[in-house]
A and B are shown apart, each in its own frame.
Chain A
Amino acid sequence: MDFSTLFLIIIGSIFINNFVIHRFLGLCPYIGVSKKMDSAFGMGMAVIFVMTMASTITWLIYTFFLNEATSIFGIDLTFLRTIAFILSIAVLVQFVEMVIKKSAPELYKALGIYLPLITTNCAVLGVSLLNINEEYNFIESIVNGAAAGVGFTLVLVLMAGIRERLEYSKVPKSMKGMPISFIVAGCMALAFLGFSGMKF
């Protein structure tokens, strides 16, 4: 295994091909949960966790059930990947919720509402599908999933920090709240565009 490949995947997923800024996935929590630093951080942690788990399980399902070359059936079922991935992500989140509720009630209380929300987060499905498109192997998929989650958290927490400041700043009445948040999001996307120059 090549560690430099993994390093490039990490840097690429966090900064260059950031899921929110570059791929426009998971925009709903990006705007919805970025009002407070605490909740943004909680959501970010939950997303990192679920993305890593989802990358693992969806890669396994794709490899052993859907892909013609490696499948145990020997038939090309790749057209089923979206529905199969959605199914497995939903089950995974449910399962994780149960485990956390049993083993770490404090963590469950902290993540509480965000865990079920992640089921419908398109960034999680996105990372699973992109792993397949990029033809990553098992380890690379997991690393990519974790790194994508970190990238999501980074942007979410940055946004929350800016929006907390915005609450106290003098904003024209017509721009207050959502409009200024969208402008800030656009500026952030522009700033992150600077990373795109770094081609490996």
Chain B
Amino acid sequence: MLLVSIIVLSVLGILFGIALSFASKVFHVEIDPKIEQIEEVLPGANCGACAYPGCAAYAEAIVVSGADPTLCAPGGHDVALQIAKIMGTKASKKERKIAVIHCQSGGINNTNIKFENKGIATCQASILLSNGQNACTYGCLGYNDCYRVCPFDAISIDENNMRIIDDDKCTGCGKCVEACPRNLIELVPISKKVHIQCKSYDKGKDAKVKCGNKTACIGCGLCVKKCPVDAITLENNLATINYGKCVSCGLCATVCPTKAIEDRIKIRPQPIIIEEKCIGCTICAKKCPVNAIDGEVKKVHKIDEEKCIQCGICIDVCPKKAIETKS
């Protein structure tokens, strides 16, 4: 009896085991091991910045349909390199982008409102009611939809109810860009440090009167004239920086009469040419946007400190690293 029961159960177990192992061969589904490897490398935040519905779907898309391995914003360059290594390709370096809010209004100091909104306290809801409560129909509504949607805690609220984006934490996933009903947020390469903090298309006087922070762009065009690289265009009473051209020299911020342009670089060090290293190639002179560098071919160049705007382009282009900054 005991023996038979043991035998019966063992036989059952063995039969089932054989059947299952056989079935696993017959019904085997091929999964590319690369997909799993890439999924492990990806951050797993499922933010959707790559435009795929989650990290798993992105990993599959890379392997199956050859999607670009550099799309992961939170992972950045490191993850792109690792993915490229798994896939056996090379990843091009891509500059990290961060979110910038193009408005300085929206804090508790904003008294310039049409009516007091006692409805649902979200930007999406308040914009439905007479296009928002603030007088400026382009400005920040101040209900912090972007703060709530940020999956990386990169947006904080200061004591004046202003949204501060932490450049280090921001991964450029673009969730806040979508969340903002006023389209005030833009993804900008992290090296660009000068931003026009206004999105108002109102005419100069209107814009200034309506702005809760009194820092509206009035469309005067001073910055357009001052920009050494023609990176600023004026359209519909609003100046916009073309970040592809901008060298972050900060000249526009110094001339703006309404302080609508923010320069995040507080101190720009003065570049100087180290005479021993300079070979007189004239590259820096050609690249200088304000022609502040003089010098003949094969002779030591000089920087005219009065003309120099400390943009730092010459430091980057010098092939001999002969230009350094004065400390």
Chain A residues engaging chain B, CB cutoff 8 angstroms: 61, 65-66, 73, 75, 77, 79-80, 83-84, 87-88, 91, 94-95, 98-99, 101-103, 105
Contact present for A88 and B8 (CB under 8 Å): no
Q: Which residues of B contact A66 (CB under 8 A)?
A: 8
Say which one of B17-25, B115-123, B225-233 lies at the interface with A.
B17-25
In B170-229, which residues have CB < 8 Å from any A CB? none
B152 close to A (CB within 8 Å): no
Contact present for A84 and B1 (CB under 8 Å): no
Q: State the 10 A-B residue pairs at the shortest beta-carbon distance, nearest first.
A: A102-B27, A91-B16, A98-B27, A98-B23, A75-B4, A95-B23, A80-B5, A101-B29, A77-B5, A102-B29
Contact present for A65 and B8 (CB under 8 Å): yes
> For residue B13, which residue of chain A has the nearest CB?
A87
B157 close to A (CB within 8 Å): no
Q: Which residues of A contact B28 (CB under 8 A)?
A: 102
Assuming A77-B5, A87-B12, A99-B23, what are 17 further A-B pairs, CB within 8 angstroms? Answer: A66-B8, A73-B4, A75-B1, A80-B9, A84-B8, A87-B9, A87-B13, A87-B16, A88-B12, A88-B16, A91-B16, A91-B20, A95-B19, A98-B20, A98-B23, A98-B24, A98-B27
Contact present for A95 and B29 (CB under 8 Å): no
A77 interface neighbour in B4, B13, B24, B27, Cβ under 8 Å: B4
| Docked pose: A83 CA to B5 CA in angstroms | 11
> For residue A108, which residue of chain B has the nearest CB?
B29
Contact present for A65 and B27 (CB under 8 Å): no
> For residue A76, which residue of chain B has the nearest CB?
B1
Task: Determine the main DSSP class of B at the interface with A.
Answer: helix
Q: Which residues of B contact A83 (CB under 8 A)?
A: 9
B19 interface neighbour in A61, A65, A91, A99, Cβ under 8 Å: A91
| Docked pose: A101 CA to B29 CA in angstroms | 7
A-B contact count (CB 8 A): 45
Contact present for A84 and B29 (CB under 8 Å): no
Give the distance to chain B from A185, nearest Cβ to Cβ, in Å: 34
Q: Which residues of B contact A87 (CB under 8 A)?
A: 9, 12-13, 16
| Docked pose: A153 CA to B24 CA in angstroms | 30
> For residue A75, which residue of chain B has the nearest CB?
B4
| Docked pose: A99 CA to B9 CA in angstroms | 25
Residues 252-279 of chain B, each 1 if its beta carbon lies under 8 Å from chain A, else 0:
0000000000000000000000000000
Chain B residues engaging chain A, CB cutoff 8 angstroms: 1, 4-5, 8-9, 12-13, 16, 19-20, 23-24, 27-29
| Docked pose: A64 CA to B44 CA in angstroms | 51
| Docked pose: A87 CA to B20 CA in angstroms | 12
Give the distance to chain B from A176, nearest Cβ to Cβ, in Å: 22
Q: Which residues of B contact A77 (CB under 8 A)?
A: 4-5, 8
Give the distance to chain B from A82, nearest Cβ to Cβ, in Å: 11
| Docked pose: A98 CA to B27 CA in angstroms | 6
Give the distance to chain B from A164, nearest Cβ to Cβ, in Å: 23
Contact present for A95 and B9 (CB under 8 Å): no
Give the distance to chain A from B23, nearest Cβ to Cβ, in Å: 5
Contact present for A84 and B12 (CB under 8 Å): yes
| Docked pose: A88 CA to B13 CA in angstroms | 9
Q: Which residues of A contact B8 (CB under 8 A)?
A: 65-66, 73, 77, 80, 84
Q: When A73-B4, A75-B1, A102-B29 are in contact, do A94 and B9 touch as well, CB less than 8 Å?
A: no
Contact present for A101 and B5 (CB under 8 Å): no
Q: Which residues of A contact B23 (CB under 8 A)?
A: 95, 98-99
A sample of 21 inter-chain contacts (CB < 8 A) reads: A66-B8, A73-B8, A75-B4, A77-B8, A79-B5, A80-B5, A80-B8, A80-B9, A84-B8, A87-B9, A87-B13, A91-B16, A91-B19, A94-B20, A95-B19, A95-B20, A99-B23, A99-B27, A101-B29, A102-B27, A102-B29
| Docked pose: A65 CA to B20 CA in angstroms | 20
Q: Which residues of A contact B1 (CB under 8 A)?
A: 75
| Docked pose: A88 CA to B20 CA in angstroms | 11
Q: Which residues of A contact B19 (CB under 8 A)?
A: 91, 95
| Docked pose: A80 CA to B2 CA in angstroms | 11
Contact present for A65 and B24 (CB under 8 Å): no
Give the distance to chain B from A53, nearest Cβ to Cβ, in Å: 14
> For residue A95, which residue of chain B has the nearest CB?
B23
| Docked pose: A140 CA to B299 CA in angstroms | 103
| Docked pose: A88 CA to B8 CA in angstroms | 13
| Docked pose: A98 CA to B28 CA in angstroms | 8
Give the distance to chain A from B35, nearest Cβ to Cβ, in Å: 14
| Docked pose: A84 CA to B11 CA in angstroms | 11
Q: Which residues of B contact A75 (CB under 8 A)?
A: 1, 4
| Docked pose: A84 CA to B28 CA in angstroms | 27
